[in-house]
């Protein structure tokens, strides 16, 4: 099978779109209510965590050129690598199910209250599944278009809502000390860290040397845009109002005007829905290809169908309507587990690989 | 083979979508709500009124001979807002579309009882307009919503346009729902809402409404009213507007109307002898709009006199307004608490517990610097009579 290749700038847009759309759907509810005006620090720390993971992934990817995350985990750790690889795959799966759940829950609560959640998950799974079957090249090309649209509308939205802002809402800085902001970093940190799918994409990128630079640019740009969105929702509505809502950015888009147009939330949602489509299809591709590599099957396509059923059912998972469980999961268990996997496992893997290469060099 | 077939199965399943969407709303069943009114009736029950827009076709589209009411008004009682709206839906037989609501009108009686349980609907309801303007009405709301006459057919549209107009901003004190809702919860910056008051004219049936005065809230309860002149001070202090008109009339000057521009104002918390003080510093440019007095601005004396008179008058009004708010109404509708919160978050933590009662002890000092600018069409800004030499 011909290996599909993407360029570095396409990779840039995949990461950028993933970060913005994941932040749009999952971070605001936890971050704004808890950290309020200091959230820029949390976002910056989240970006730093992600860049750290990216450096590890890049070094590992260069060490084991042409291998994906799942493949070199096996090369580094041997038999135990199979288990670690499985954990990575399960993590991808869990992220996707969570992202899909948040996405369909949000849409059914705001945009189309009477539509069952399954409709959103089915339509998204079909689209993302088709993209995943077509391979990473198709996804990458789409991400260029969507990434550009996200950038453009964000800039226009920011400039056109300048009359609404009241900068004094950002004061006082660090009202309750630095601690809440630092603790808050786990939310963006854990969601951005999904970019360990970079480990799955690396073998597909044409020019290996520029990857790290592109990744850092994408993370910095994506975080800046989303930090602006979050801060805008605070300076327009005030921290009290913004802290009450599940998704303040959505409310922001309902309050502000876009040039002469009022009520532009549908436009904003459209953009971020297409952004989610890129994220979900990239993850979909990563998880199916990872599974294929893990089990040694030739093609990733059968797995698209297998996992599709899980994704379609993701809004139906048990406890998904018990807000107590959901809150515990989103604000505690998910960040904890994903930070352990993204930060802890990757560091461990990297150190192991360095030691192993040193040992093999000294022995030879 | 299986995968090939499943592809077709997916495509075929798309045909299910042909039967229609879940959340579709047909235009012919949809009515735009232009204003919502909340009040209590004589039995103490919540009374919700809605003003519905009845769209008429433009003349060019063949709507010339139409005889349709432009608006319709429905009222119902209920335990909650949603409960009453359910009744209204049955009366109007339409689905109500709240996303274009222009005005939320609150009856004075309800506001004095407190809005505690009513506002939950506006926080929760996904289909509503956070940009609608909030007003308090002294008249009965169903009457206001059905009988008030404006140049436009739908009165609420005219009210919204009034609030959006920059020249009326200083005195209208307009507040939108997204600003109003959080302020009901904050003691550091409480709500002040413009009033909608009937101009007394008993002969005609149509009601002429005036947007004036400002209803001051303490927490969720209305506690009193401010005049439009005081409302202007509030909108300067809250930095809603940097424009305004100010009239000075004293012993020395009969009556001079000033137009103020570029108002910069800052409230500063200061501790003096352990006592919290509020220092207001204001900087503005003033031009003379009209004068009943002959003023010769080429003389420095006149300019100086005008400046001191004007700044004394403004500072007196500021102090009077703030004391009225703080001592009579015990409500911080200018956001001084927020100013402390932003400047000294630590000392705010000790103050915020009983902020409403601490307001009475705050002293206000204001310092105002004014620059009088020549304007208008006259030389020397002065009219000289021809025969006077």
Q: What is the mean pLDDT of chain A?
A: 84
- Residues A172, B126: C-beta atoms closer than 8 Å: no
* Domain endpoint, select from B183, B208, B226: B226
Is the same domain home to B218 and B255? no
Q: Does residue A364 sit within a domain? A: no
8 Å CB contact of A115 and B21? yes
DSSP A45-66: HHHHHHHHHHHHHHHHHHHTTT
Residue from the list A113, A126, A172 with its beta carbon closest to the beta carbon of B126: A113
Residue pointed to by tokens 């939310």:
A187
Q: Residues B201, B275: one domain?
A: no
- Cβ neighbours of residue B6 closer than 8 Å, sequence gap 6 or more: A305
Query: CB of B219 within 8 Å of any CB in chain A?
Result: no
Q: Could B182 and A172 be called an inter-chain contact, meaning their C-beta atoms sit closer than 8 Å?
A: no
Domain assignment present for A12: yes
- In the prediction, which pLDDT does B63 show? 56
**What pLDDT, on the 0 to 100 scale, is given for residue B3?**
66
Instruction: Give the model confidence (pLDDT) of B4-46 as tens digits.
Output: 777 788 788 777 766 666 666 677 778 888 899 999 988 888 8
Residue pair A285/A196 in contact (Cβ under 8 Å)? The answer is: no
The stretch B237-243 carries a mean pLDDT of 85
* Cβ neighbour number for residue B168 with a 10 Å cutoff: 16
Q: What is the pLDDT of residue B381?
A: 53
Q: What is the DSSP letter of A258?
A: B
Report the distance separating Cα B245 and Cα B231, nearest Å: 12
| CATH code, A293 | 1.20.1740.10
Query: Does the structure show a pLDDT above 80 at B328?
Result: yes
Question: What sign does the CA torsion over A195, A196, A197, A203 have?
Answer: positive
Given pLDDT bands bounded at 50, 70 and 90, which one contains residue B134?
A: very high
DSSP H helices, A174-260, are 179-184, 186-192, 198-201, 211-237, 239-244, 248-255
CA-based nearest distance B342→chain A, Å: 5
Mean pLDDT of chain B: 83
The pLDDT score that the predictor gives to residue A4 is: 72
Tell me whether residue B10 is in a domain.
Answer: no
Distance CA(B343)–CA(B17), nearest Å, equals 57
Q: Is the pLDDT of residue B306 over 60?
A: yes
Of residues A192, A194, A205, the one with CA closest to residue A61: A205
Token pair recorded at residue B130: 């956070």
A110, A172, A302 ranked by CB distance to B345: nearest: A172
Same domain, B206 and B85: yes
| Distance in angstroms (rounded) separating the CA atoms of residues A46 and A52 | 10
Res. B342: pLDDT tops 50: yes
Mutate to test the interface with A, among B8, B100, B126 (most CBs of A within 10 A): B126
DSSP, collapsed to helix, strand or coil, labels residue A284 as helix
Whether B191 is covered by a domain: the verdict is: yes
Q: Are residues B111 and B39 in the same domain?
A: yes
For residue A300, pLDDT beyond 50? yes
How close B176 comes to chain A (CA, Å)?
10
Evaluate if residue B230 carries a pLDDT over 70: yes
Per residue in A9-49, pLDDT (tens digit) is: 888 898 899 888 888 887 777 788 888 888 888 888 888 88
In a domain, A33, yes or no: yes
Q: How far apart are CA A159 and CA A242, in angstroms?
A: 20
B190 and B339 inside one domain: no
In a domain, B2, yes or no: no
Do the domain assignments include residue A15?
yes
Give domain status of residue B384, yes or no.
Answer: yes
pLDDT at residue B256 in the model: 84
- Cβ-based contacts of B123 with chain A (< 8 Å): 244
Nearest to A172 among B6, B131, B341 (CB): B341
Q: Is the pLDDT of residue B379 over 70?
A: no
Q: Is the distance from CB of A27 to CB of A188 less than 8 angstroms? A: yes
Cα–Cα distance for residue pair A211/A300, rounded to 1 Å = 24
Q: Does A124 map to a domain?
A: yes
- Provide the pLDDT for residue A287: 87
Strand order in the sheet with B244-248: B244-248, B256-272, B275-291, B363-372
- Given this model, what pLDDT does residue B61 score? 61
Choose the final residue of a domain: B169, B201, B226. Answer: B226
**CB-based contact A240 B131, cutoff 8 Å:** no
Identify whether residues B205 and B64 lie together within a single domain.
yes
Q: Is residue B181 domain-resident?
A: yes
Q: Could you tell me where the beta strands, DSSP code E, fall in chain B?
A: 30-40, 46-53, 71-78, 95-97, 103-107, 133-137, 192-198, 209-218, 221-226, 244-248, 256-272, 275-291, 363-372
Please give the pLDDT value at position A270. 82
**Whether the predicted pLDDT of A142 surpasses 50:** yes
Neighbours of B139 (CB within 10 A): 19
Looking only at the bridges linking them, the beta strands covering B363-372 and B275-291 are parallel
Give the separation between CA A183 and CA A336, rounded to whole angstroms: 11
Is residue B9, in this structure, part of any structural domain at all? no
Q: What is the pLDDT of residues B274-288, one digit of tens each?
A: 788 888 899 988 888
B239 in the same domain as B95: no
On whether the CB atoms of residues B348 and B335 are closer than 8 A, the answer is no
Distance CA B121, CA B123 (A): 6
Which pLDDT score, from 0 to 100, does residue A1 have? 42
Residue B384 is part of which domain span? 235-389
Residues of A in contact with B6 (CB under 8 A): 305
Q: Note whether B75 and B100 are same-domain residues.
A: yes
Using CA coordinates, name the residue in chain B closest to A117.
Answer: B22
- Cβ pair A113:B178 closer than 8 A: no
CB within 8 Å: A114 and B22: yes
Average pLDDT estimate for A284-292: 87
**Same-domain status, B142 and B249:** no
Q: Is residue A3 in some structural domain?
A: no
**Confidence grade of residue B387 (pLDDT, cut at 50, 70, 90):** low
N-terminal to C-terminal alpha carbon distance within chain B: 110
| Best residue of B18, B22, B238, B335 to probe chain A, by most A CBs closer than 10 Å | B22
Identify whether residues B56 and B195 lie together within a single domain: yes
**Least confident range of A136-140, A240-244, B67-71:** B67-71
Mutate to test the interface with A, among B12, B26, B95, B131 (most CBs of A within 10 A): B131
Task: Indicate the number of domains in chain A.
Answer: 1
> Rounded CA gap, A234 and A228, in Å?
10
Cβ of A301 and B123 within 8 Å?
A: no
Q: Give, as one character, the DSSP assignment of residue B94.
A: S
Q: Which residues of A touch B239 (CB under 8 A)?
A: 166
What domain range is A54 assigned to? 8-354
Q: What local confidence, expressed as pLDDT, does residue B136 receive? A: 92
Same domain flag for B215 and B284: no
- Here the tokens at position B251 are 């012993």
Residue linked to tokens 């998904």: A320
What ipTM does this complex have? Answer: 0.79
Tally of structural domains, chain B: 2
Candidate from B99, B186, B343 with C-beta closest to A240:
B186
- Tell whether the torsion through CA atoms of B21, B27, B31 and B34 is positive or negative: positive
Residue showing tokens 């109500």: B96
Give bridge partners of residue B221 from the DSSP assignment. Answer: B218
B388: pLDDT strictly greater than 60: no
Tokens of A55: 């450096």
Whether A267 maps to a domain, the answer reads: yes
Question: B281 preceded by cis ω (within 30°)?
Answer: no
Cα A213 from chain centroid (whole Å): 18
Whether the CB of B130 is below 8 Å from some CB of chain A: the reply is: yes
* A114 Cβ contact list (under 8 Å, min separation 6): B22, B23
Return the structure tokens found at A110.
């705001």
pLDDT at A122: 87
CATH code at position B267: 3.30.300.210
Query: Is B1 inside any structural domain?
Result: no
From CA A78, how far away is CA A64, in angstroms rounded?
Answer: 14
Q: Does A360 reside within a domain?
A: no
Statement to judge: residues B175 and B42 lie in one domain? yes
Could you say which of B226, B258, B289 is where a domain stops?
A: B226
């Amino acid at each position: 099978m011909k290996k599909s290749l993407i360029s570095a700038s396409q990779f840039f847009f995949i990461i950028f779109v993933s970060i913005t759309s994941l932040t749009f759907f999952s971070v605001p509810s936890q971050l704004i209510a808890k950290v309020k005006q200091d959230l820029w620090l949390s976002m910056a720390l989240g970006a730093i965590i992600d860049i750290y993971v990216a450096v590890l992934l890049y070094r590992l990817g260069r060490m084991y050129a042409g291998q994906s995350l799942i493949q070199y985990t096996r090369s580094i750790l041997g038999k135990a690598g199979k288990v670690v690889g499985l954990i990575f795959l399960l993590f991808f799966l869990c992220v996707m199910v969570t992202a899909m759940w948040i996405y369909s829950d949000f849409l059914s609560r705001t945009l189309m209250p009477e539509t069952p959640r399954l409709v959103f998950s089915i339509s998204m799974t079909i689209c993302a599944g088709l993209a995943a079957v077509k391979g990473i090249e198709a996804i990458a090309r789409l991400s260029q278009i969507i990434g550009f649209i996200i950038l453009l509308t964000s800039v226009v939205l920011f400039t056109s809502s300048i009359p609404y802002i009241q900068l004094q809402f950002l004061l006082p800085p660090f009202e309750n000390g630095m601690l809440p902001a630092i603790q808050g970093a786990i939310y963006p940190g854990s969601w951005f860290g999904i970019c360990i799918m970079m480990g799955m994409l690396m073998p597909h990128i044409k020019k290996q040397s520029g990857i790290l630079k592109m990744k850092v640019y994408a993370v910095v740009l994506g975080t800046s845009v989303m930090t602006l969105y979050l801060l805008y929702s605070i300076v327009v509505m005030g921290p009290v109002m913004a802290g009450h809502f599940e998704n303040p950015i959505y409310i922001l888009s309902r309050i502000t005007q876009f040039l002469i147009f009022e009520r532009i939330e549908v436009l904003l949602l459209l953009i971020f829905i297409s952004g989610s489509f890129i994220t979900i299809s990239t993850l979909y591709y990563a998880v199916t290809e990872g599974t294929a590599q893990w089990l040694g099957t030739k093609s990733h396509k059968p797995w698209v169908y297998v996992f599709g059923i899980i994704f379609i059912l993701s809004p139906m998972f048990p406890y998904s309507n018990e807000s107590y469980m959901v809150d515990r999961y989103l604000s505690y268990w998910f960040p904890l587990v994903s930070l352990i996997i993204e930060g802890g496992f990757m560091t461990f893997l990297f150190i192991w690989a360095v030691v192993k290469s040193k040992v093999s060099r000294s022995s030879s | 083979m299986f995968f090939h077939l499943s592809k077709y199965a997916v495509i075929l399943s798309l045909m299910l979508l042909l039967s229609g969407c879940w959340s579709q709303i047909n235009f012919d069943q949809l009515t735009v709500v232009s204003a919502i009114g909340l009040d209590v009736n004589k039995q103490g029950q919540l009374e919700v009124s809605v003003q519905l827009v009845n769209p008429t076709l433009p003349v060019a589209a063949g709507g010339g001979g139409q005889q349709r009411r432009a608006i319709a008004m429905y009222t119902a009682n209920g335990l909650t807002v949603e409960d009453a709206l359910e009744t209204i839906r049955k009366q109007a037989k339409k689905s109500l579309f709240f996303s274009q609501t222009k005005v939320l009108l609150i009856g004075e009686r309800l506001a004095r009882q407190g809005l505690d349980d009513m506002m939950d609907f506006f926080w929760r309801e996904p289909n509503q307009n956070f940009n609608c303007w909030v007003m308090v009405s002294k008249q009965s709301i169903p009457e206001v919503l059905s009988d008030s006459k404006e140049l436009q057919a739908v009165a609420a549209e005219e009210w919204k346009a009034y609030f959006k107009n920059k020249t009326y901003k200083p005195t209208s004190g307009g507040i939108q729902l997204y600003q109003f809702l959080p302020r009901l919860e904050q003691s550091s910056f409480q709500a002040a809402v413009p009033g909608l008051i009937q101009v007394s004219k008993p002969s005609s049936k149509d009601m002429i409404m005036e947007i004036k005065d400002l209803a001051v809230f303490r927490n969720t309860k209305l506690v009193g009213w401010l005049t439009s002149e005081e409302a202007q001070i509030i909108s300067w202090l809250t930095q809603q507007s940097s424009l305004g008109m100010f009239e000075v009339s004293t012993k020395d000057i009969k009556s001079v109307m000033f137009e103020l521009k570029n108002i910069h104002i800052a409230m500063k918390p200061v501790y003096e002898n352990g006592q919290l003080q509020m220092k207001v510093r204001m900087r503005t440019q003033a031009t003379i709009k009209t004068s009943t007095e002959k003023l010769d601005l080429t003389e420095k004396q006149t300019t100086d006199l005008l400046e001191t008179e004007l700044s004394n008058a403004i500072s007196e009004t500021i102090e009077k307004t703030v004391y009225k708010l703080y001592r009579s109404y015990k409500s911080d509708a200018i956001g001084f608490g927020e100013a402390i919160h932003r400047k000294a978050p630590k000392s705010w933590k000790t103050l915020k517990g009983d902020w409403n009662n601490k307001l009475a002890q705050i002293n206000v000092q204001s310092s105002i610097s004014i620059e009088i600018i020549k304007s208008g069409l006259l030389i020397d800004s002065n009219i000289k009579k021809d025969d006077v030499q």
